[in-house]
Amino acid sequence: MTSSPLPPTVAETLAEIPSWGADGASDHLLTGLEPGLNGFLALVRLAAAVRENQHELARSRPLAGRVFAGMFFDPSLRTRSSMLVACAKLGAEYLDLQPDSSLWTLEFTDEVVMDGVAQEHIREAAGVLGRYAQTLGLRAFPTRGQWERERTQPVHRAFAEHAGVPVVNLEGPMAHPCQGLADALTFQDLLGETAGRKLVFTWAPHPHQGLMAVPHSALWAGSSLGMDVVLAHPEGFDLDSEALDEGRSLASASGGTFRITHDRDDALAGADLVYASSWGAISGPEASRSGHADAVKSLRDWKVDTADLSRGKEAFFLHCLPVRRNVVVSDAVLDGPQSGVLDQAENRVWAQTALLLHLMGGVAP
């Protein structure tokens, strides 16, 4: 089946998205900051237009004959399935790569004698995949204890350097850009006008040391939408300092505000959105596995409960999922009317459909 023209609103919104790859380079999305503030907001508008015109769009099959390759070095439910669904909606094929079971072990270091375990170098692996697919997606979590190296997302950068086609970060050490796009759409869905509305992004207890990618991307999303963003976490659980600077800078550019507090009650007062996430410390006593476990024991009251959603205003609850019930957040919140977590997960489909449309040349012939 061939493509047909895009729905007019989708075509008009798509045309507003700038290309951000410098000097003819591909439009990689490794942090989500690459499109710039206006490009990010245009992608969110496109996600809404795609959702609004989903049936007409699916009939037009704008990406028929094109291939997206998804590679997950770490587990996923939502990201992998929502990418599969996004491809299906656009008429594209999804090439499912499972590095643990079906790919050669990769070497990432240049000018190395490959006489160890690795069978294939990233230069050939990425280059070959770039000949098979028009966009690559990649999930690779950080190695703990090496933040200075991991914060640069070296695995993602290596694929981007050698693929010759756009590479999308499907969650890495610093960012989860697809989650950030979906979160921005969800903030708008729940609040309508987001400018000046209060987004509280709060740390929550978890037995494991979670990643900082979702916090960074969600904070950037709220800051891009002109929200009053409050990051609340216990002492010792600072996020990446440059990521926080990005949040401040986006808030300043969009007319929002950005502040950090260790006072949970102060943060939650008057919240419109309460978004919880669990992450581990970068340094200090809480950064070790046992230090984290000890810290969490005394921080269990950071779990989100129903009372936390009505501190002066009725707030919605958000979480990227997966979530540990009654550790991070109570059943009553997740099953209650103020939970937006399923809408948030659904919006992954619309955000990624929009992104693929831009990256894979969705203007039908």
In the complex, which residues of this chain contact ligand CP (CB under 6 A)? 76-79, 171, 179, 320-322
338 versus 347: smaller Cβ distance to ligand CP = 347
Beta 93-97 vs 167-169: how paired, if at all?
unpaired
Token pair belonging to 134:
């028009």
CB of 177 to ligand CP, least distance (A): 11
Helix (H) or strand (E) holding 275: strand 273-277
- How far is Cα 293 from Cα 287, in angstroms, rounded to an integer? 10
Whole-number minimum distance, CB 173 to ligand CP, in Å? 14
Is the Cβ of residue 321 or residue 327 nearer to ligand CP in the bound state? Answer: 321
Whole-number minimum distance, CB 70 to ligand CP, in Å? 11
Nearest to ligand CP of 139, 264 (CB atom)? 139
CB-wise, 14 or 47, nearer to ligand CP?
A: 47
The residue whose two tokens read 């690779």 is 140
CA distance 295 to 354: 41
- Collapse the DSSP code of 84 into the 3-class scheme (helix H, G, I; strand E, B; otherwise coil) and give the result: helix
Q: How far is the CB of 33 from ligand CP (least distance, A)?
A: 18
CB of 80 to ligand CP, least distance (A): 6
Residue owning tokens 């503030």: 37
* CB of residue 319 to ligand CP, shortest distance in Å: 9
Which of 227, 320 has the CB closer to ligand CP? Answer: 320
Burial of 33 (0-12, 13-18, 19+ CB in 10 A): buried
User: Which residue, 77 or 128, is less far from ligand CP as judged by CB?
Assistant: 77
Distance CA 96, CA 71 (A): 7
For the chain, the C-alpha Rg in angstroms (whole number) is 20
Q: In the bound complex, what is the minimum distance in angstroms from residue 344's beta carbon to ligand CP?
A: 8
Give every CB contact of residue 354 below 8 A, 6+ residues apart in sequence.
Answer: 43, 46, 47, 49, 50, 181
- Cβ proximity to ligand CP: between 99 and 270 the closer is 99
Report the distance separating Cα 343 and Cα 351, nearest Å: 12
- φ and ψ of 228, to 5 deg: -90, 100
